[in-house]
Amino acid sequence: MSAEYQVQGNLAVISLNNPPVNGLGHATRQAIVQGISRAHEDAAVTAIIITGAGRAFSGGADIKEFNSPKAFAEPSLHTVISVLEDAEKPVIAAIHSVCMGGGLELALGCHYRIASPGAQIALPEVKLGILPGAGGTQRLPRAVGLETALNMIVSGNPVSSEKLAQTALFNQIAEGDLMTAATAFANQVAAVRPLPKVRDIRIDYPNYEAFLQFSRNTVKAMSGPFPAPLACVDAVAAAVSKKFDDGIQFERELFLKLVQTTESKALRHAFFAERAASKLPDVPDDTPVRTIKSVAVVGAGTMGGGIAMNFANAGIPVRILEMKQEALDKGLATIRKNYENTLKKGKLTQEKFDQRVALISGTLDYQEIAQADIVIEAVFEDMSVKQQVFQQLDAVMKPGAILASNTSTLDVDKIAAFTRRPQDVIGTHFFSPANVMKLLEIVRGKQTAKDVLATVLALSKKIRKTGVVSGVCDGFIGNRMIEQYSRQAGYLLEEGCTPEQVDKAVEKLGFAMGPFRMGDLAGNDIGWYIRKRRYVEKPHIVYSKTADLLCEMGRFGQKTGAGWYDYKPGDRKPYPSAVVNEMIVKHSADIGVERRKISDQEITERLIYALVNEAAYILEEGIANRASDIDMVYLTGYGFPLHTGGPMFYADTVGLSNVVRAMEKYAKGRHGEAWKPAPLLAKLAAEGKTFN
């Protein structure tokens, strides 16, 4: 599938046809060039229209071809664009829906452009860690002006076509049928010469150096570890300061450098990982889904309230069930407060505020949620409480309703067994704050029906979550791995580190928050409760006692004004705590461990490789479907640095044999049993292979 050529009267029409979004793969590029040649040879043809079949004009270069020889095989995108620009007959791009990246660069090479209103116009390459590599940084500033082009290229965000109607990018915004308008326009311009070329437009921007220097400073401050945004500014600067062909050459050099960077490979990996996560080997894409028109949530606490907001934000009515009026009122008031805060920040219109608040209601009566299409339980993390709730739900919910639990670690199969409809039971593990964090772990019970899975996956997209499917085990994917990470963090304290040294080491790598700051934020008592359960269930696993000693001091974290760190009233900034550090030093002495200086490298290796090793067990047990799913869990739910691509991609980048070698070194230290490589990791390392 590539592109269709047909002649309609005196017009040649080339329709890009490479589903799903007309990525400009090699076959498509060849078909375009052949189409132009045929149009040249056909004397009856006086003008050429290029358009896109299906859901897009074009989503850009075919990123599935990246890192393969096809990506740059002739005719390259550059060549195709030159063929269009140098065509002897007028070429008109008829643009609808999506015109992005190489697709927009291709349109910029045409002589004229007509768009339907609402078409999403973007050069999003920066989001893949690269920059427009087929003339976009040189032509777009000529078509829409320096500032608009710079904003579009550095942000990568789409602009709706009608907003660019007054620029040289579009000759017309076609309100009616696009092809009718394009045909009429093509006939109007068929004889017009010379053919207009975007490359010939002069950029007129007085004192552009000052503007670009200001832009560089701004972009440098916000681009973090990513080199692409700043390179975008340099490329756009060349559009003003260099001759066109020199600018093209400069852009090419920058593109070829960026496409090889780890940061870009990580972003491209994350792009595909996010889309792969919703694909289940045994649940076909066309599995019928159940209709979800209304939602119920059991529990109006922090999680229940946040979960309810997700559905209201997606325009779905949601009813929250509580046992006591006071708890219900408190929960509804908290939701309203959250929306008011967003309204005050100007991130929500009054109309949306009113709409969302109106979609959320409360009740104390199970009967009043019986007709909901899905009910999500978000009550206390205790199996006996879950049992009561699910027995009640089983008794009242209409047939076909989906019964979901927000449990973060408990056995979903056991929960399903409390009901007579285990096929309708599933885990929907939201991450706090539930209305903010993108990750949704979808826990598949042994009996969860395929259409229930497909429905919840589709629903996760509707509420703008990244749904990742997990099998049933203690902690599912994310929390099971974080347990090993936390164990190492505790051992590091006993062996010589302070909480702030451990946190700073991983935050330097780009983590949003180190383990101890994260504990203080989430509440150290949560981990304490889970460890107490694990001491009974898994007595062979040794934890550092420091976390328990901290909780015995009542230092649960920010919510108690003190945790691993001290906090000042009204100030969320963590201050190193002398009391805690003394406790740690005393504890090392009590257990006879001689404290030593520990490098940041050892800290980051032990924390991250502990995650990777547990992930390898999770993969070989089939709890996760693929390594990139685990990357998505950590990128969207645990603040793992995006520029590394996630723990599995990071391990691949380091080299699995190097990861195993480091683990062998740590296996000689304290609690060496924790460093036994998972068989899958050992195998891949020995074979020189990667997870992804």
Pairing of strands 374-377, 295-298: parallel
* 467 near ligand T1G, rule: CB under 6 A: no
Binding span for ligand T1G by CB under 6 A among 95-103, 143-151, 544-552, 605-613: 95-103
Binding ligand T1G by CB under 6 A: which of 90, 109, 129, 136? 136
User: What's the min distance (Å) between Cβ of 690 and ligand T1G?
Assistant: 20
* 102 near ligand T1G, rule: CB under 6 A: yes
* 144 near ligand T1G, rule: CB under 6 A: no
Q: Tell me how far apart the alpha carbons of residues 467 and 163 are, in angstroms, rounded to a whole number.
A: 33
How many C-beta atoms surround the C-beta of residue 552 within 10 A?
11
Q: Tell me how far apart the alpha carbons of residues 335 and 255 are, in angstroms, rounded to a whole number.
A: 46
Question: Are 443 and 479 contacting, i.e. CB atoms less than 8 angstroms apart?
Answer: no
Q: Tell me how far apart the alpha carbons of residues 501 and 492 are, in angstroms, rounded to a whole number.
A: 10
The smaller minimum CB distance to ligand T1G, of residues 264 and 408, is found at 264
The smaller minimum CB distance to ligand T1G, of residues 68 and 213, is found at 68
CA-based angle 95:100:106, to the nearest 5?
65
Binding ligand T1G by CB under 6 A: which of 39, 61, 469, 627? 61
User: What's the min distance (Å) between Cβ of 229 and ligand T1G?
Assistant: 15
Give the length of the chain: 692
How many C-beta atoms surround the C-beta of residue 146 within 10 A?
21
* 586 near ligand T1G, rule: CB under 6 A: no
The smaller minimum CB distance to ligand T1G, of residues 82 and 302, is found at 82
Q: How many residues sit close enough to ligand T1G to count as binding (CB under 6 A)?
A: 23
Nearest residue to ligand T1G, using CB?
Answer: 101
* 557 near ligand T1G, rule: CB under 6 A: no
User: What's the min distance (Å) between Cβ of 13 and ligand T1G?
Assistant: 22
Peptide bond into 677 cis (omega under 30): no
User: What's the min distance (Å) between Cβ of 393 and ligand T1G?
Assistant: 33
Look up 495 and say whether it is catalytic.
no
Q: Where are the beta strands (DSSP E) in 192-345?
A: 295-298, 318-321
* 563 near ligand T1G, rule: CB under 6 A: no
| Phi, psi values for residue 70, rounded to 5° | -60, -30
* 60 near ligand T1G, rule: CB under 6 A: yes
Instruction: Measure CA of the first residue to CA of the last residue in the chain; give whole Å.
Output: 28
The smaller minimum CB distance to ligand T1G, of residues 60 and 145, is found at 60
Tokens for 528? 């304490």
* 305 near ligand T1G, rule: CB under 6 A: no
Binding ligand T1G by CB under 6 A: which of 2, 14, 15, 23? 23
Question: Are 502 and 520 contacting, i.e. CB atoms less than 8 angstroms apart?
Answer: no
Helices (H), 156-227: 178-189, 208-222
Look up 594 and say whether it is catalytic.
no
Binding span for ligand T1G by CB under 6 A among 61-69, 292-300, 540-548, 596-604: 61-69
DSSP label at 280?
B
Q: How far is CA 585 from the centre of its chain?
A: 40
* 134 near ligand T1G, rule: CB under 6 A: yes
Residue 426: strand pairing partners: 404
User: What's the min distance (Å) between Cβ of 29 and ligand T1G?
Assistant: 11
Which of 65, 74, 125, 500 is flagged as catalytic? 125
Tokens for 273? 């990982």
From residue 1 to residue 20, what is the string marking binding to ligand T1G with x (rule CB under 6 A)? -------------------x
Q: Tell me how far apart the alpha carbons of residues 151 and 153 are, in angstroms, rounded to a whole number.
A: 6
What residues from 104 to 133 belong to the interface with ligand T1G (CB under 6 A)? Answer: 105, 124-125, 128, 132-133
From residue 254 to residue 293, what is the string marking binding to ligand T1G with x (rule CB under 6 A)? ---------------------x------------------
Burial degree of 368 (CB within 10 A; 0-12, 13-18, 19+): middle
Q: Please report, to the nearest 10 degrees, the dihedral formed by the alpha carbons of residues 148, 149, 154, 160 taken in order.
A: 70
Which of 85, 105, 251, 322 is flagged as catalytic? 105
Helices (H), 345-464: 350-359, 383-396, 412-416, 450-462
The smaller minimum CB distance to ligand T1G, of residues 137 and 524, is found at 137
Binding footprint of ligand T1G on the chain (CB under 6 A): 20-21, 23, 59-64, 77, 98, 100-102, 105, 124-125, 128, 132-134, 136, 275
Would you please indicate which residues are annotated as catalytic (active-site) residues? 105, 125
